[in-house]
Chain A
Amino acid sequence: MPTERLTFKIAWREPIPARLTYLIDNGTVITHPNGDDDRLTGTQEILFTYDAPKSDIHIIRWLLWFPEHTLTKLAATARRSSSRKFSPLNSQPGEQKIYWERSGAL
């Protein structure tokens, strides 16, 4: 099965750590948070690269988790390895409390 490499980027304004609790690509759970994967935790930005079966459209679902905090200017983007430009996956939600769970299509 041919695969392609994708990069998912999620960013926010505050210098507060948050964790990408799950990432689902086209119905497949991509992140395996049982392990101590440092790439899933970040401050102000998380950049996560993964391989997925090649597809015309990737429906990406994610949960960013930041208990006890409120984050603003949240933005999720993604790109294929064949493209330099990140495409927005969803409209910016303004501010979110505790978590941000959404989906979008690349």
Chain B
Amino acid sequence: MRKGSTFWAPWLVLCLSSAALASPALDQLKQASLHEQRCLCQQLETQTLFTRVRETTTPVDSQSSAGELLARAEAAIQASVDDAKAGFTIAPLRFIEGYKGPLNPQLTFAAFDDGRTRLGAALNGVYSVAKNPSPKGLKISFCSYDEGAYRNTLDRAGPSLRRACAVVASLPDPAPGFSPGDEEPIERETWRIVRHLCGVDEAPQVETKSPPGSCKQTWTFEDAAIRVVRAIQNETIRLERIGVPAQKEMSQLTERLEPFTAELQTLAEHEAPGFVPRFTTIEDAIRQYAWRRSRYVLGVDGRVDFFPLKGGFNPSAEPDKNPLPRAQLASWQANLAGSWGRERVFLKMGLLLGQKRSEHMDSLNPLSPGLSFKATYVVGALVGQLTDDEENVQVEGQELPPHLLVGMEGSVAFVTKRTPTHPNLVDNANAALWLEFRFTEKLAVRTGFQLDAETVTRPEDTSSTPPRAELGKLQYSVPAFVLTALQF
């Protein structure tokens, strides 16, 4: 677009001699602008679709990463009367600027107070029903622009148009400069229309050309403003092309345009207001929209735990039979999990397969398949309101207010073959019931009780009377725990 004050400077002197000849119908132009804007916003309300919207949530569960998404990284510390552990999970692709792909790989490193170390990797895919939301879906109105402010803008720009029209009235017909055989040039059409819009005496009327269904019923203020600017630019270019023979005309024009520089700049920069509300509103609307839509995540997760690595003096009476642990594999587990989340509810179900051993000298137990589950429910806001009466989540600055969740999760692993020494079908199980305080979306504290059930084995004793056979049965513990998680 050709515009800029430097462009006008050589231009603005030409027209004062015939300034009185122009009288634009400002009120009609303004009314036409307001009508066109209203008409367009109503058409956009019913026609426009948006692209897919995705959203990530915060997993604070250190059990398994399968089926849950992570924004970027999470550090968690969990302490209970039984043990303590600290873990760090990172989603490396999320550190790539702009990456919003459906795949969410995660890497986990964790340490336990008994010296064990955990390495894990997970790959999750996400699908959200929150795709192609319409403005109504996002609850964004294209008609929420401030019509009063637009009217004021038009009122302020009106005098500028009137004064600039005084310059336009004196512009000569550019047609004589065109080459013979030229079709009706654009420049002449602009000159013809702008003279009509500026109300130049004896200028013939020019009608708008609009297809059926168009919002343009007649010329608007914007139509006039851009043509005033363009007509003066065209005349400048015409005189520049003529060069020396038009030097006098050019200097007269420049002299006349000088007082109108500010007006022309105002008109050159004038635009009708946009239809979209300011961006913070949209960000909140996207979050609200995603809250109301289902999101599915399917993922696989694998992790291995290692015994500690120890060296040096072994205090055992029989070091050969009781060697120090050398970072042998303690357990491995693979998970396939899927989750569904919508509004306050999150549900996750998974299948797991793994092996473990109690001591590093033992052999791994037989393969143990199992099931896992997790459910959370957002109880409400800790401060203020989480939702309004219509269950629309209240978002401020793209963040939910501090809120409270209640959750339960657990897993159960089975033996593949029951034996006299291992008569129970269940090899191990755990369940937890907790409350989670999400003070911010980056900081959460979870506290609750965990039920652990694990098969412990009584060794065979042939020296007792009667002899005792080896027997494995479940042992229960119910430790309380506190987990603090930071997410980035």
Contact = CB atoms under 8 A, between A and B. Distances in A.
Interface of A: 1, 14, 16-19, 21-22, 24, 26-29, 32-34, 41, 53-57, 59, 61, 63, 65-70, 87-90, 97-99, 101-105
Given A21-B50, A63-B276, A67-B53, A28 B210 contact: yes
Of the listed residues A19, A27, A90, the one surrounded by the most CB atoms of chain B closer than 10 A to its CB is: A27
B377 to A, nearest CB: 26
Contacts of B186: 56-57
Nearest to A90: B1
Interface residues of B, number: 42
Judged by DSSP, the binding face of A is strand
Contacts of A53: 209-211
Contacts of B271: 102-103
B436 interface: no
B48 interface: yes
B153 interface: no
A24 B215 CA distance: 10
A101 B272 CA distance: 11
Given A27-B36, A63-B275, A98-B283, A21 B49 contact: yes
A41 B51 CA distance: 9
B215 A28 contact: yes
Nearest to B286: A67
A22 B53 contact: no
Interface string B15-50: 000000000000000000000100110011001111
Contacts of B190: 56-57
Contacts of B100: 16, 68-69
Contact of A34 (B49, B275, B286): B49
A97 B53 contact: no
A99 B271 CA distance: 17
A57 B47 CA distance: 25
Contacts of A26: 210, 214, 216
Interface in B263-303: 271-272, 274-276, 279, 282-283, 286
B146 to A, nearest CB: 15
B51 A18 contact: yes
Centre residue among B186, B193, B220, B286 by max chain A CB count within 10 A: B186
A28 to B, nearest CB: 4
Given A1-B209, A21-B49, A41-B51, A104 B1 contact: yes
